[in-house]
Amino acid sequence: MELPKKFYARQVLIDPIENRTVFCLPEAELSIYETRTNAHGVEFQFACPMLACMIAGKKVMHLQHKAFDFVPGESLVLAPGEKMRIDFPEASMETPTQCLKLAFSDHLINQTLLRMNETAPRLEEHGDWASTASSFHFTNDIAIHQIVERLLWLVTEDHPSKELFAGFMLQELIIRLTQTEARNQLLGNAVALQHKSRLAAVIKFIQDNLNDPLSIDQLSKHAHMSQAHFFRTFRTELGVSPVDFINAERIKLAKSLLRIPNKSIYDICFDCGFNNVSYFNKVFKRATHLTPSEYRLQAKMR
C-alpha cells in the first residue's frame, strides 16, 4: 500500500512525531499520520470507533497489557475509549512511519449494522450483528486492502461524485470489518464455542483436519445444514468462502512449518493438505506476496 502522489502535494510537515493530514468524508474522517523521528511511549485515545492501517515503517503497540509489532499489511480496530501507547523504533526523516486512521460516525455504523441484520442475519445462536466492544489486530485480506487503497486514492481526487463513492466504500468496509471480527472470535474460541455454534464446530473440524481432503459436502454435514445453506451462512458470517478459509488456515500452518530448517517444501505442501506443489506455491504467493522459498529465507533473516 502506498500513498498517492497527490497526497504529497498538499502535505505540510508540522510535527515530526505525529504529523497529521486530514480528509473529511461523509460520516467519517480519514487521517494520515507520519512520524519522522524515533519516539517511544506516545499515548493515544479516541472517542469513536477507529480503524488504523499501517502504510510504511513499523510501530510497537502497547494495548490491553500486550505489546506487538504493527507493520504494513496489518490493521487494528480500536474500540471507543481504548487507551494505547506507541513506540516508533525505526522512524526517521528519510524513512517515515506512515499510518492511516479512519474514524466512523456512530450513525453510519448503526445504519450499516441495521441493514446487515435485515438482509444478512447471523445464525440464531450468534445473535445480531453489533458494534465492536473490544479492539482487535488482524492481517488485511485482499478485499480490505483494496477498499483502503481506493479510499486513499479517492480522497485526493477532485470528482463531483466523490462523496457518493466514499459512502458506498465506507459501508462495505464496515461490513467486512464486522465479518473479520466475527471470524476472529470464532477462530480464537473455536474449542469453547464448538458445542454452542455450528460454525465454531466446523472451524474446529477444519483446524483438526487440515492435512486431509476437505469438501463442502463433508463440512455442511458436520454443520447439520444443506450445502447451499452452509455455503451461504459461512460466507455471510465470516466474509470468505469455505475454500478460501481452508486455504488461509493451511497457509498459516505452512508459515510455521517453513521455519523448520530441514523440512522440505514438498513435505510441507502435503502436510498442509495441498495436493500439488504448484498449487501450493500459487496460493502461498497470493496470500503473502512471496514464494514459500522466499518466505523461508526472509524468516531466517529476522
Which of 188, 215, 244 delimits the end of a domain? 188
pLDDT at position 15 over 70? no
> What are 30-65's pLDDT values in tens digits?
999 999 988 888 888 888 889 999 999 999 999 888
Residue 22: strand pairing partners? 31
Closest CA to 76 of 107, 48, 101: 101
- The Cα–Cα gap between 110 and 113 comes to 5
pLDDT band at 82 (very low <50, low <70, confident <90, very high): confident
Which residues pair with residue 99 across a beta bridge? 33, 54
| 200 and 114 in a common domain | no
Let me know whether 48 and 142 are in one domain.
Answer: yes
pLDDT tens for 152-166 read 999 888 888 989 999
Rounded CA-CA distance 155/163 in Å is 9
Residue 143's domain comprises 5-188
Based on the fold, state whether residues 168 and 205 are members of the same structural domain: no
Write a three-state SS string for 136-174.
EEEECCHHHHHHHHHHHHHHCCCCCCHHHHHHHHHHHHH
The domain spanning residue 21 has which CATH number? 2.60.120.280
**How far apart are alpha carbons 223 and 128 in whole angstroms?**
20
Domain boundary among 140, 167, 188: 188
User: For residue 46, what pLDDT is reported?
Assistant: 83
Residue 7 has pLDDT above 60, yes or no: no
Identify the domain boundary among 142, 168, 188. Answer: 188
What is the amino acid identity at position 216? I
Phi-psi region of 53 (alpha: psi -120 to 50; beta: other; left: phi over 0): beta
Q: What is the pLDDT of residues 98-127, one digit of tens each?
A: 999 999 999 999 999 999 999 999 999 999
Local confidence band at 297 (pLDDT 50, 70, 90 cut-offs): confident
182 & 199 share domain: no
Q: What whole-number distance in Å separates Cα of residue 46 and Cα of residue 234?
A: 33
Provide the domain count of the chain: 2
> What is the rounded average pLDDT for all residues in the chain?
89
Residue carrying the nine cell digits 518466505:
295
Which residue, among 119, 121, 139, 133, has the nearest Cα to 82 in the 3D structure? 133
- Both 41 and 164 in a single domain? yes
The CATH number that applies at residue 294 is 1.10.10.60
Indicate if 182 and 245 belong to the same structural domain: no
pLDDT above 80 (res 256): yes
Considering the chain, what percentage of its residues have pLDDT values greater than 70? 94
Residues 200 and 178 in one domain: no
Sheet with 66-70, edge to edge strand ranges: 39-45, 83-88, 59-63, 66-70
Given this model, what pLDDT does residue 8 score?
A: 47
The two beta strands, 50-56 and 97-104, are antiparallel
User: In terms of domains, do 152 and 206 share one?
Assistant: no
pTM: 0.84
Considering the domain architecture, whether residues 210 and 183 belong to the same structural domain is answered as no
According to DSSP, the residues that pair with 87 across neighbouring strands are: 60
- One domain, residues 231 and 285: yes
